[in-house]
Amino acid sequence: MSTATSRCKPRIWGIVPRHLSGSYSGGTSPKDFRRLALARQRASESFARQNLLAFKDRYNHGWLVQRHGYRTPVAVRAELLARAA
């Protein structure tokens, strides 16, 4: 088997050995992978935070709680603060 034939076959099969491609990771460094992972983590944390804040607002202003006489937590808090003052 000639050298030219052995170098062509891996590329035909979709496999490029490390010594032929020049780089194990295809030009992407592990540092780039870490940056991408951190960016995704920050995006998911931001998304979760926004959803939790929206839920808190919806709960405090829209939910009627039975133990408070079917009033919203904001209304109960306002009444309690009025009594205390």
| pLDDT for residue 64 | 92
Query: What mean pLDDT do residues 3-7 have?
Result: 54
Q: How far apart are CA 6 and CA 16, in angstroms?
A: 11
| pLDDT for residue 24 | 54
Q: What is the separation, in whole angstroms, between the first and last Cα of the chain?
A: 94
Query: What mean pLDDT do residues 18-41 have?
Result: 70
Query: What mean pLDDT do residues 23-52 have?
Result: 80
What SS3 state is found at 40? helix
With a cut of 60, say whether residue 22 has pLDDT above it: no
Q: How confident is the model at residue 49 (pLDDT cuts 50, 70, 90)?
A: very high
pTM over 0.85: no
Q: With contact defined as beta carbons under 8 Å apart, do 20 and 6 qualify?
A: no
Q: Write down how long the chain is.
A: 85
| pLDDT for residue 37 | 85
**Residue 65 phi, psi (nearest 5):** -100, 130
Q: With contact defined as beta carbons under 8 Å apart, do 26 and 17 qualify?
A: no
